[in-house]
Amino acid sequence: MRRVEILKMCAAGAALLTLAACVPSSPPSSAGGDDRSGTVRVWLFDEPNRAPKERVVAEAIEEFTAAHPEVTVEVAYIPTSPARHEKFKGAFNDPASAPDIAEYGNTDLAEYAAAGGFADLGAEVRSWTEGGDIDADLLKSATAGGKLYGVPWYIGVRALYYRTDVFGELGLEPPATLGELTAAARAVRERRPDLYGIAVGGQYTFGALPFIWDAGGDIEKLDSPGSREGVKAYTDLMSDDICPPQACAALTGGRTVELFAGGKAAMGILGNFNRSAVDAGPAAGKYAVVPLPGSTAGTPAPAFAGGNNLGVMRSSRHRTLAVQFVQLLAGKTYQVKMYEAMGNLPTLTSAGRELAARDPFLKPFLDTVAAGTRFVPVDPAWVKIDNQKVIPTMLQKVATGQATVEQATDEAAAAVDAAFGRS
Amino acid sequence: MTTVTTAPAGPETPTRRAAPRTRRRDRLRPWLYLMPAAAVLLPLFGYPISMLGLLSVFDYRQAQVSGGEPTTFVGFGNYAAVLGDRRFWSVLTQTAVFAAALVAATLAVGAALAVVLSRAGRVPRLLLSLAAMAAWAAPAMTGSTVWMFLFDTDLGLVNQVLGIEGFNWFYDRWVAFGVIGATVVWHSFPFVMVTLYAGIQAVPASILEAAELDGASAWQSFWRVLVPVLRPLITIVVIQSIIWDFKVFTQIYVMTDGGGIAGQNSVLNVYAYQTAFGSSEYGLGSAIGVVMTLILLAVTLLYIRALYRRGESL
């Protein structure tokens, strides 16, 4: 009897505990403040070759602190790996560990906006003299629900890098269509078995998407005939006579950059922002760039217009200072410096025009942009799709023969629908 | 737990009144003894587990955490979603098979080395203990990374020694599981070895001597003498191993970059992590966590029960 009673008491106690914990609480999000002194904390993305970026940022900090002697600027470099989501969520949930300014990928915007982590900078950017110079399409990549959650800092566009020495030695022409690209890749691998025909990877979503878009497919309709054609075209490159699945199925975009930069591949789908990494390796001086060809000559495959924005956190305690520092970093002077240091395409039209005239390297990328770029869905669902590795899983299943193109695309389309909450 | 109640003897009246009180104190005593432990364990385990259970019945995503949307109660909706997901079942099966193989391998390696340790000379014993302690002390993250380097496709020592540069150990699902399994066993066998070694040391030499005099071979005296004597220890080691190996996370997450090619090497914990944190579905992730806890509890209870049935206690 007694024991039963004690058990009852325990159960009651447990129930009380549960009640006390009650409904999981949502922390009140603090609106931040506007201190004019102290430490402005900045999160910037780490890069494979960070030193030049760090130098430019240090220069900007020097200029900023010279004008605001009572302010210090503290920069932390955070990884671009999926772990960044954890860092950002942590910052949103706990303002005490959050920075004032953060660089973030525009693909993550929808999720961060839904989480309410960034401040609306619409008014500040409109009243900023250089604000009107930002490409209108690019401002859209920083806008969600009519609010501007940051200043586009730079964009990156991918194109086809190829090794001029290898192509010259084998008497190959730079490919003008996707068909020619596949043929050239096969020819290279056949005659130079030490090289991959083209470095592609099963986890390289932004390398595969142009193939899908070019064939008329789309992320939201992965089981459409166009998407299937694109998936097939891309995964066909992961075959023993071009880029063996044993080696290539697991590769990320970053690893394909390393392969090309390391001189292990005759071609690669790399961004303008990868230039410094390639120039630091054995492929330096032995490569050229053309727009990634589409299925018909003259129309490049639509590239993904990825880029990074500089946002001010809603919880920032230094609102004005933070906005001023963002305007400095995203202003023309430092956009040009960032291009010189990292090869990042500027978002200010005037800066782009100035640099294009100066550096012919930019031409294939600007041609690609002119031919039309595409973007991932501006919806929190995209982050889910990205994190669940829906597209890499689809590509890897096809490349390793675990599933046919039809099965893999059906499965991926179902996962995409589920992410959008449509199923 | 044994409750011994002494039969009242002697003069009737005083004991009659005293008896219920004594009995009550006897009944309460074990709970009193448990109090200090409970005071520590209840907040430490009770709070997270109750929060886990609570989250699992809510639609709780990033928007709710940062206050963008109100939290809604969905009852068993998350559980229905988890149990209705084909991927959950395939990952669960994979986890169970992988964990079972790991438990068997860990036990075999640990027990064999414990016997070796008890028979080895001083220097080899010291070397073996040191090697095992080093493996035990290595953080899972470090150990996994080192093993990953060893089995690297292009630069790995293993491929260089075997002369198969370019062979990707993580391409085939089962080969990858083999390498990861070896890493997990390497991390967990020292606990088994040390525990069993301590047990073997405590077995009176006279018993083993008697077995030897009766003509038992080493093999026989291991299975017929040591194992029965050590059964309580083995039980604990098995339960620990089941729990550890079922919950394996770091090795898989690090060595296969979060689940391997097309997620072929995913296990339940990695799946729960990716669902909860990767996709910000905290409610759904909690439901997976609860299901996993229940499975582990059930396995452990069944195992202990089976032991009791055979008339052996812990």
Residue A418 has pLDDT above 90, yes or no: no
- For A208-267, how does the pLDDT look when each residue is reduced to its tens digit (9 = 90+)? 999 999 999 999 999 999 999 999 999 999 999 999 998 899 898 988 999 999 999 999
Domain ranges across chain A: 3-156+306-374, 158-302+379-419
- For A136-151, how does the pLDDT look when each residue is reduced to its tens digit (9 = 90+)? 767 877 888 888 999 9
- Which residues in chain B are contacts of A202 at CB distance < 8 A? 261-262
- CA-based nearest residue to A152, from A290, A335, A11: A335
**What is the percent of chain A with per-residue pLDDT over 70, rounded to a whole number?**
92
Q: For the stretch A373-387, what's the b/e string if a residue is b when 16 or more beta carbons lie within 10 angstroms of its beta carbon?
A: bbbbbbbbbbbbbbb
> Among all chains, which residue has been given the structure tokens 């097309």?
B262
Q: How far off is chain A from B95, nearest CA to CA, in Å?
A: 19
B61 phi and psi, to 5 degrees? Answer: -125, -175
Q: Specify whether the CB–CB gap between B134 and B193 falls below 8 A.
A: no
- For B201-220, how does the pLDDT look when each residue is reduced to its tens digit (9 = 90+)? 988 888 888 988 988 888 88
Q: Specify whether the CB–CB gap between A355 and A333 falls below 8 A.
A: no
Query: Which residues 17-56 of B have a C-beta within 8 angstroms of A?
Result: 24, 27-28, 31, 46-47, 50-51, 53-55
Instruction: Give domain A3-156+306-374's CATH superfamily.
Output: Periplasmic binding protein-like II (3.40.190.10)
Question: Are β-strands A101-105 and A38-45 bridged in parallel, bridged antiparallel, or unpaired?
Answer: parallel
Residue type, B221: S
Tell whether A127 is within 8 A of chain B (Cβ): no
Helices then strands (H, E): number in chain B? 15, 2
- CA-based nearest residue to A325, from A147, A65, A34: A65
Residue type, B14: P
CATH architecture of A158-302+379-419: 3-Layer(aba) Sandwich (3.40)
Q: Specify whether the CB–CB gap between A290 and A181 falls below 8 A.
A: no
The count of C-alpha atoms lying within 13 angstroms of the C-alpha of A133, restricted to the half-sphere facing its C-beta, is: 17
- Which residues in chain A are contacts of B50 at CB distance < 8 A? 14, 17-18, 21
- Our measurement of the distance from residue B41's CA atom to the centroid of its chain's CA atoms, rounded to an integer in Å, reads 18
A131 phi and psi, to 5 degrees? Answer: -60, -35
Equal CATH topology for A3-156+306-374 and A158-302+379-419: yes
Range name among A19-28, A75-84, A378-387, B159-168 with the lowest pLDDT average: A19-28
Is B278 close to A388, i.e. CB distance below 8 A? yes
Q: Is the dihedral of CA B289, B295, B298, B304 positive or negative?
A: negative
- CA-based nearest residue to A269, from A188, A178, A370: A178
- CA-based nearest residue to A35, from A7, A72, A64, A88: A72
Kindly state the greatest CA–CA separation across chain A.
93
Is A2 close to B31, i.e. CB distance below 8 A? no
This model's pTM is above 0.80: no
- For B72-94, how does the pLDDT look when each residue is reduced to its tens digit (9 = 90+)? 888 888 999 889 888 899 999 99
Q: How far off is chain B from A203, nearest CA to CA, in Å?
A: 9
pLDDT band at B20 (very low <50, low <70, confident <90, very high): low
Interface ipTM: 0.71
Give the Cα separation of A303 and A375 in Å (integer): 8
Domain ranges across chain B: 62-313
- Which residues in chain A are contacts of B263 at CB distance < 8 A? 389, 393
Q: Which of A28, A247, A383 sits opposite B168 (nearest CB)?
A: A247
- Give the 3-state secondary structure of residue A378: coil
Give the Cα separation of A259 and A199 in Å (integer): 7
Is B166 close to A247, i.e. CB distance below 8 A? yes
- Which residues in chain B are contacts of A208 at CB distance < 8 A? none
Tell whether A286 is within 8 A of chain B (Cβ): no
- Which residues in chain B are contacts of A116 at CB distance < 8 A? 66-68
Q: Which of A24, A250, A402 sits opposite B58 (nearest CB)?
A: A24
Give the Cα separation of A79 and B41 in Å (integer): 37
Q: How far off is chain B from A54, nearest CA to CA, in Å?
A: 28
- CA-based nearest residue to A260, from A246, A243, A236, A245: A243
Q: Which of A24, A27, A114 sits opposite B71 (nearest CB)?
A: A24
Which CA distances in Å does A37 have to A64, A71, A217, A312, A418? 12, 5, 51, 16, 47
Residue type, A147: K
Q: Which residues pair with A158 in a beta bridge?
A: A271
- pLDDT, position A295: 92
- What is the topology classification, in CATH, of domain B62-313? MetI-like fold (1.10.3720)
